[in-house]
Amino acid sequence: MAIPNEMLAALIEQQAKAIKLLSEQLQSTKTNTINIPWPAPLDIERGDISQNFENCVLSWKDYMVASDMDKWPSSDEDKKIKTFFTALGSNALTKYNRFQLTAEEQRHIDTVIEAIRKKLSSKKDVIYDRAMFNSCNQENHSFDEYLLKLQK
């Protein structure tokens, strides 16, 4: 059974149109797949916790832009906040019990960051820090350990 040439030409033309349409759809939905490194977790063991948090926030904001998370709709704000908590790391979340944020503070990523910033800045006791610094002794510590202890 032979297919007439006109029918065959029409089928080939339809197939070419379908392939072109699928190709255009694929191009429009194609996303750039870039392996973006995860932000470093909040370091709660070394250095100034407030400064470490500020560094963490800067990394987080860069990550949001690089991953297009900053373009997510406001309906995905909760997902953004949960991702931020995950980026902070389990040590920080365990120590600060998810920073005990109220429901009002958890409405937007910027209010979450600001609330955590306030809670961490209130943790700093300058008098205690100075007393610990002045009473620090290098006995039984390597220079690096001693320096880290002084920096805390």
17-64 per-position pLDDT tens digit: 888 877 776 665 555 556 888 888 998 888 788 889 999 999 999 999
Percent of the chain with pLDDT over 70: 85
Residue 151 has pLDDT above 80, yes or no: no
- What mean pLDDT is predicted for residues 1-26? 78
For residue 82 the two structure tokens come to 């949960």
- CA torsion, ordered 118, 121, 123, 129, to nearest 10 deg: -170
Please tell me the pTM assigned to this model.
0.59
pLDDT computed for residue 131 by the predictor: 80
Residue linked to tokens 């900053």: 70
CA distance 41 to 92: 8
Burial class of residue 84 (count of CB atoms within 10 Å of its CB; 0-12, 13-18, 19+): buried
Q: What is the pLDDT of residues 53-78, one digit of tens each?
A: 999 999 999 999 998 899 989 899 99
DSSP for 85-105, please give it: HHHH-HHHHHHHGGGG--TTT
